[in-house]
Structure 1
Amino acid sequence: VGVWVLVIVAIGPLAGKFEAAQENDPADYLPGKAESVKAIEVLENFPSGDVVKAVTVFHREGGLEGSDRATIDQARAAINSERREGVDETGPPVVSEDESSALLITPITVEDGTNEAGRLLVDATDDIKGELQGLPAGLEAKVSGPAGFSADAIDVFDSINGTLLYATALLVLVLLIIIYRSPIFWLIPFFSVLLAELTSRGMGYLLADAGVTVTGQSGGILPVLVFGAGTDYALLLVSRYREELRRHEDKHEAVRVAMRKSSPAIVASGATVMAALLTLTLADVTGTSGLGPIGALGVGLAMVSMLTILPALLAITGRRAFWPFVPRVGSEGVDETHGTWSRIAGWVGRGPRKVWIGTIALLLVLCLGLTQLNSDLTSGNGFRNDVDSAEGQALIEESFPAGTDSPTNVVVTDRSKLDVVREAVEKAPGVAGISPRVEEGPTGAKLEVTLDQDPLSTAGFDLVPGIREAAHRAGGEAALVGGPTAEEFDLRESAARDNRVIVPIALVVVLLILMALLRAVVAPLVLIGTVILSYGAALGIATLFFEKVFDFPGIDPTLPLFAFIFLVALGIDYNIFLMARVREETPANGTRGGMLRGLAVTGTVITSAGIVLAGTFSALAVLPLVTLTEIGFTIALGVLIDTFIVRTLLVPALVLEIGDRVWWPSSLAHRDPE
């Protein structure tokens, strides 16, 4: 306890700085080697290198009236009269050919990659919105463009940490009270998890300060991981402690035995989750690779907290903390011959082959939802609520080329090739036009290309390869294609690469840890196979919900990888908890007896842990971003499938079918049947 007091005193004050250390500029998510990033680096020295444009669109169905034009001029004058430092003058309105819309473009000079830059974008766009009040009836006005989209995203991420922390903490608190049915005891694990969460935020700040990219998305997922994993470990340890209190009068002896029996499974579980998360550091996508160390740090601190401060508090408070259901020596508790889980174990034991065949068939049917998988979710349609930037983009598309507010940049570092590159790009599919103005910089020239598709849509992204091919054919290495559309294209390409590379590596890492824990080869292969099947079922049914029920435009390209890492790492937890107990029971009772006894004894605690973990991830649904909602829903669903189908039915049935051979090549595989 004293050590934790010192840790909180040293690290606690840094927790409040965690949000300020997060980076939410779109470039913070980009793969470092991408062509669009190279274009950003070249453009840093251009006059417009630090300029982000806010595009205010005015629109009236049937055409702008004379009074509308006067209103637009007044709005422009008001915007220019009270400009913040860094906000440049708004130019004259650009009216569409059909005269139904007009654009005001406000350049905002920011220092990329800093929190001050993000705050300036939010404040500047808010100032513009403040001047759009009291418009004539029928005249719409929205703030869009790169500055508008960035400001809306930053606004969302700024609200994530506090909202999610409170929602997750409240949910865990309620579930602990329900699980323990005690007005007192819930405080002990809840306090232990809070210490881990506070420490993880402080350490997260130090990681960010050391150069690790911590995005708002990673910061939002961190408390979910800490609360979910920490509470799971607490439930496992407390369950074993309560079991030992019925065997030992001395509370200290009960704690010692509980720690000796449960800590290997907790350490193996924590190591599995941490190792799986650390494979994310191999990702090309910077935002994804940053989640690896911050997530592993959070889970590690949750594990350490449950193995240090929690046992200390249990030894201090003793059995009385369980009031009114105090475990006494010799009193009845969960055992292998009574209760619901004993009956479930007996049912599985009477027909294991029918159980595993039926269960696998059900999961394969759920996997069919994967046929509906699409990645049409983008940064342009990724908000659950209506936002100005997305609504403004829709208005722009009605009267202007869709890419007017977010042009694609073609940077030519060899000026002698500028004309041939321009000519080639103009003929590329999807190019609506190229601005006659060429911006000169110390390292070349920049062309602004307007697309005929929404620049933040999959149709827009599909145009990037053709534009790059045309630019490279004419300018070779001297031509770089960047801008918002190219950046998101590169992000999606790298996400696809990360899926191909990281998934098999994570599987191998988890498999090796399972082999070390169970000292076997067959059992870990069985467990890995069941978790993969569970993952496919969870993603399949989640995809159907996103498509048919929630009416989301698609899934985020990073969802399959995030869901895989979390479900394989966290889903395997319950198999670890179960199989560690089965292995403990097998020498005395055989594989069949060990499985039936292990399932009966661990059923309640693992089910409680699964419900808590699913609940913590479902807390992501309170956030207004489709991506985080999809991550939370998919993982919560997958955890429930693991808890109620895979761990309860499939794994026990397969182990009973395989028999002692499941422990091969350990000595348990060759034990005497007698």
Structure 2
Amino acid sequence: MPWVVLGLWVAALAVLGPFGGKLADVQRDRAVDYLPASADSTQVAEMQDRLPGGETTRLVLVYHREGGLTAADRDRAAGQVERIAETFELTGRPGPVPSKDGATLMYPVGSTAPGTDEEARDDFVHGVRKITEGGDGLSVDVSGPGALATDAAEVYTSLGGPLLYTTVAVVALLLILIYRSPFLWLVPLVVAGIADFLSMAVAYGLHQFLGTPISGQSSGVMTILVFGAGTDYALLLVSRYREELRRFERPQEAMRAALRGCGPAVLASSGTVAAGLLCLLAADLNSSRGMGPLGTVGVLCALVAMVTLLPALLVLLGRRVFWPLVPAFGSRPKERRGLFAAMGSSAGRRPLAVLATGGALLGALALGAFALPGELKQEDSFTERPQAVTAMRTLAEAYPEHSTQPVTVLTPSGRAERSLREIRATEGVDTARTTRAGQGWTEISVVAEGAPQSPAETRTIERLRDTLDGSYVGGPSAEQIDLTETNARDTRIVVPLVLLSVLLILTVLLRSLVAPVLLTVAVVGVWGASLGIAGLVFGPLFGFGGTDPGLGLLSFVFLVALGVDYGIFLMHRMREESLGGAEPAAAALTALRTTGAVIASAGLVLAATFAVLTSMPMVQLVELGFVIAVGVLLDTFLVRTYLVTSASLLLGRKLWWPGALSKPPRQADPPREPETAGAAAR
């Protein structure tokens, strides 16, 4: 049987292998791929694609010299702009916009030649950057939405290799430390790598047949989930397999027993994560909605690989794979008082005090969420400042009196003149001009008086949307407004769906209403405390200028879905002990003692894989990775070990209400005295 399973996997990889390598080809990181599906800014981006020449790629050339530009600097700038106009097809002749202090010169440049082709857009940006040269104290930077999109795309493209290699290295190191074997660590790591390749092929199929959006963020998180969740399942299975090898002589029989023992917990765990992630399909934000299916693909591919390929390889390799700590048939593990037995004893002595102290600690940490920095601006999205962001900082200092990032308005061509008058009469508008028309729509470029993504510019955009009937207002600043508003709407819808799906799965698995509520409340507390810790370090320690609008929702989905995993492992073993006749207190402490080390190992691996995201150059990924890693560690070493155990001890049999385990066992009737014996006694 193991050889058959291995053969099926080889055949599956041979068929699906060519598709896994194509995932990077369909990855898209344009603004429209992250925007809300129904927002004004999305409509603008999609309609611009249909206008003559496609979407306009807007750039801003920034010439700056400390102390003031010279006549030679201005001549150089004019000559370079002339070369750009001769080399590329521009939407209009660029004109200089000098700053009041005379130290900066700005040239807005636009072209429809790249259209919606990202490669052509990047060629245009790089071509302009090659032409624009500074020197001798003159700095020249290229900024604007087009340049910012190119810099962001290059960062996302560069994530794949470093993210995968760093994740593999971290998981390998932890597995070596956990297993203390020169060979065993390699087996689950190889299987996780195969599962990751399989997930890429399946994700590519979803994109081709269902149009599922693939972004750098979603594909990166999918890889993290494959290695993190997959390694968790492997740790649980290998631990149970090691136990069964002491009871069964043949590895195949031991593996069957191991799969019967931990299989339900692993299936329920992966089902909970998948159900929670699929709730993201209800989100209106494209990036969140696309991450749901991809995350689900990653978890399910990890599950399939760890319950089929991993058991087959372990059986074929036999007991020697555990060398030098080989579990011999009929042997007993060394009896020693472990860390988790000591933790359980401390929780068992004063469970109410432990529960109250732990709950107060989580509540106090959660208060730190009020210190989270404000919304993350586009120029603050990089941990290392690219050229486009450097230019934006220069522009903000040189032109504080008005925006340097146009707002785009698309209005029906029949009312273009009227819309232009209304725009110019709107409070907060500096300038407005028609840039092009086609397909029944006219594009108007609007420059606001307020700085980009400032409260003043936000109010101007809101006034434009209220004033212009039948028109759409878009552009980078409008996109940021729509991202924030849509994330708030998605949170109100997705959070209840996640909680409901998790509660339903736990209720079915544990045959109880109280235990699922306990686990759910625990992981929600962990989420709040994790955001609180983030609020204490993001600004003061990391120096982040803002918080990603989607951080709250995504971290909630991942922490609730993944955190419940460990609750399932613990509660499933507790229920198993109770069914075996153990008293509630003994069942809780035994479950903690037997699963504590595995849960701790799994938590460390999962936290470490998400912590890999903190080494990436995008602030959104760093923030998400930090919050989830901290949450997993809190859940593993505080909530699961102390709070859930102490709550279980306090609840006793009520933990399993209204199931059969909530009722005390029936006392057997005393044996009746034989009649002859009774007569003799009389």
Q: Could you say whether these structures have the same fold, taking a TM-score greater than 0.5 normalized by the shorter chain as the test?
A: yes
Q: Which amino acid aligns with 2:107?
A: L
SS in 2 for 1:494: helix
Structure 1 CA distance for aligned equivalents of residues 290 and 46 of structure 2: 21
Figure out how many residues of one structure are paired with residues of the other and give that number: 660
Taking only aligned residues, the RMSD between alpha carbons, in angstroms, comes to 2.1
Residue aligning to 2:276: 276
1:159 Cα deviation from its structure 2 partner: 0.6
Q: Give the conservation status (yes or no) of the 8 Å contact 2:171–2:609.
A: yes
Equivalences for residues 198-347 of structure 1 within 5 A: 198-210=197-209, 211-333=211-333, 338-347=337-346
1:12 Cα deviation from its structure 2 partner: 1.4
Residue aligning to 2:680: none
Residue aligning to 2:597: 604
Q: Give the conservation status (yes or no) of the 8 Å contact 1:226–1:298.
A: yes
Pair 1:637 & 2:630 matched: yes
Residue aligning to 2:619: 626
Q: Give the conservation status (yes or no) of the 8 Å contact 1:71–1:135.
A: no
Pair 1:569 & 2:561 matched: yes
Residue aligning to 2:112: 109
Structure 2 CA distance for aligned equivalents of residues 637 and 470 of structure 1: 46
Residue aligning to 2:675: none
Structure 2 CA distance for aligned equivalents of residues 214 and 535 of structure 1: 27
Q: Give the conservation status (yes or no) of the 8 Å contact 1:121–1:151.
A: yes
Do the aligned partners of residues 172 and 665 (structure 1) sit closer, same or farther apart at CA in structure 2, a change above 3 Å counting?
Answer: same
SS in 2 for 1:32: coil
1:220 Cα deviation from its structure 2 partner: 1.2
Residue aligning to 2:174: 175
Equivalences for residues 366-515 of structure 1 within 5 A: 366-400=365-399, 404-413=403-412, 415-416=414-415, 418-419=417-418, 421-435=419-433, 437=434, 439-457=436-454, 460-471=457-468, 476-477=469-470, 479-515=471-507
Structure 1 CA distance for aligned equivalents of residues 49 and 325 of structure 2: 66
1:34-63 deviations in whole A, cap 9, x for unaligned? 122223344444346422122111012332
1:580 Cα deviation from its structure 2 partner: 0.5
Do the aligned partners of residues 265 and 329 (structure 1) sit closer, same or farther apart at CA in structure 2, a change above 3 Å counting?
Answer: same
Structure 1 CA distance for aligned equivalents of residues 449 and 613 of structure 2: 35
Structure 1 CA distance for aligned equivalents of residues 561 and 459 of structure 2: 34
Q: Give the conservation status (yes or no) of the 8 Å contact 2:57–2:114.
A: no
Q: Which amino acid aligns with 2:630?
A: L
Pair 1:95 & 2:86 matched: no
Structure 1 CA distance for aligned equivalents of residues 85 and 443 of structure 2: 27
Residue aligning to 2:677: none
Structure 2 CA distance for aligned equivalents of residues 609 and 77 of structure 1: 61
1:424 Cα deviation from its structure 2 partner: 3.4
Pair 1:647 & 2:640 matched: yes
Q: Which amino acid aligns with 2:303?
A: M
2:56 to 46, 51, 54: 51
Equivalences for residues 110-189 of structure 1 within 5 A: 117-133=117-133, 135-137=135-137, 139-189=138-188
Pair 1:24 & 2:17 matched: no
TM-score w.r.t. the length of structure 2 is 0.93
SS in 1 for 2:380: coil
1:672 to 665, 672, 675: 665
SS in 1 for 2:654: helix
Q: Give the conservation status (yes or no) of the 8 Å contact 1:240–1:262.
A: yes
1:415-434 deviations in whole A, cap 9, x for unaligned? 34633x33433343432222
Structure 2 CA distance for aligned equivalents of residues 202 and 501 of structure 1: 31
Structure 2 CA distance for aligned equivalents of residues 562 and 306 of structure 1: 26
**Identity percentage of aligned residues:** 40
Q: Which amino acid aligns with 2:106?
A: L
SS in 2 for 1:249: coil
1:530 to 522, 530, 541: 522
SS in 2 for 1:274: helix
Do the aligned partners of residues 402 and 33 (structure 1) sit closer, same or farther apart at CA in structure 2, a change above 3 Å counting?
Answer: farther
Structure 2 CA distance for aligned equivalents of residues 345 and 525 of structure 1: 21
Q: Give the conservation status (yes or no) of the 8 Å contact 1:527–1:575.
A: yes
Residue aligning to 1:546: 538
Tell which structure's C-alpha radius of gyration is larger: 2
1:88 Cα deviation from its structure 2 partner: 7.2
1:196-230 deviations in whole A, cap 9, x for unaligned? 00100111111122211111110111110100000
2:610 to 604, 617, 624: 617
Q: Give the conservation status (yes or no) of the 8 Å contact 2:373–2:538.
A: no
Residue aligning to 2:678: none
Q: Which amino acid aligns with 1:182?
A: S
Structure 1 CA distance for aligned equivalents of residues 153 and 380 of structure 2: 15
1:332 Cα deviation from its structure 2 partner: 4.0
Structure 1 CA distance for aligned equivalents of residues 65 and 53 of structure 2: 31
1:319 Cα deviation from its structure 2 partner: 1.4
SS in 2 for 1:434: strand
Do the aligned partners of residues 322 and 601 (structure 1) sit closer, same or farther apart at CA in structure 2, a change above 3 Å counting?
Answer: same
Do the aligned partners of residues 380 and 460 (structure 1) sit closer, same or farther apart at CA in structure 2, a change above 3 Å counting?
Answer: farther
Q: Give the conservation status (yes or no) of the 8 Å contact 1:42–1:443.
A: no
Structure 1 CA distance for aligned equivalents of residues 533 and 366 of structure 2: 7
Do the aligned partners of residues 403 and 507 (structure 1) sit closer, same or farther apart at CA in structure 2, a change above 3 Å counting?
Answer: farther
Do the aligned partners of residues 318 and 671 (structure 1) sit closer, same or farther apart at CA in structure 2, a change above 3 Å counting?
Answer: farther
1:541-586 deviations in whole A, cap 9, x for unaligned? 1121102211111210100011000000001111111111110011
1:435-478 deviations in whole A, cap 9, x for unaligned? 3x46343414332210123334565334322221122xxxx22x
Q: Give the conservation status (yes or no) of the 8 Å contact 1:384–1:624.
A: yes
Structure 2 CA distance for aligned equivalents of residues 422 and 90 of structure 1: 21
SS in 2 for 1:550: coil
Which is worse superposed, 554-563 or 377-386?
377-386
Q: Give the conservation status (yes or no) of the 8 Å contact 2:91–2:435.
A: no
Do the aligned partners of residues 59 and 527 (structure 1) sit closer, same or farther apart at CA in structure 2, a change above 3 Å counting?
Answer: same
TM-score w.r.t. the length of structure 1 is 0.94
Q: Give the conservation status (yes or no) of the 8 Å contact 1:464–1:489.
A: no
Equivalences for residues 4-83 of structure 1 within 5 A: 4-47=9-52, 49-80=54-85, 83=88
Q: Give the conservation status (yes or no) of the 8 Å contact 1:277–1:295.
A: yes
Which is worse superposed, 42-51 or 515-524?
42-51
Q: Which amino acid aligns with 1:207?
A: L
1:3 to 5, 8, 25: 8
Structure 1 residues without counterparts, runs of 5 or longer: none
Do the aligned partners of residues 89 and 424 (structure 1) sit closer, same or farther apart at CA in structure 2, a change above 3 Å counting?
Answer: closer
1:488-511 deviations in whole A, cap 9, x for unaligned? 211221111001110011000001
Structure 2 CA distance for aligned equivalents of residues 98 and 315 of structure 1: 76
Do the aligned partners of residues 67 and 322 (structure 1) sit closer, same or farther apart at CA in structure 2, a change above 3 Å counting?
Answer: same
SS in 2 for 1:267: helix
Q: Give the conservation status (yes or no) of the 8 Å contact 1:276–1:506.
A: yes
Q: Which amino acid aligns with 2:327?
A: P
Structure 2 CA distance for aligned equivalents of residues 273 and 136 of structure 1: 57
Q: Give the conservation status (yes or no) of the 8 Å contact 2:54–2:115.
A: no
Structure 1 CA distance for aligned equivalents of residues 351 and 318 of structure 2: 41
Q: Give the conservation status (yes or no) of the 8 Å contact 1:380–1:457.
A: no
1:195 Cα deviation from its structure 2 partner: 0.9
Q: Which amino acid aligns with 1:100?
A: A
Structure 2 CA distance for aligned equivalents of residues 233 and 402 of structure 1: 57
Q: Which amino acid aligns with 2:208?
A: D
Pair 1:585 & 2:577 matched: yes
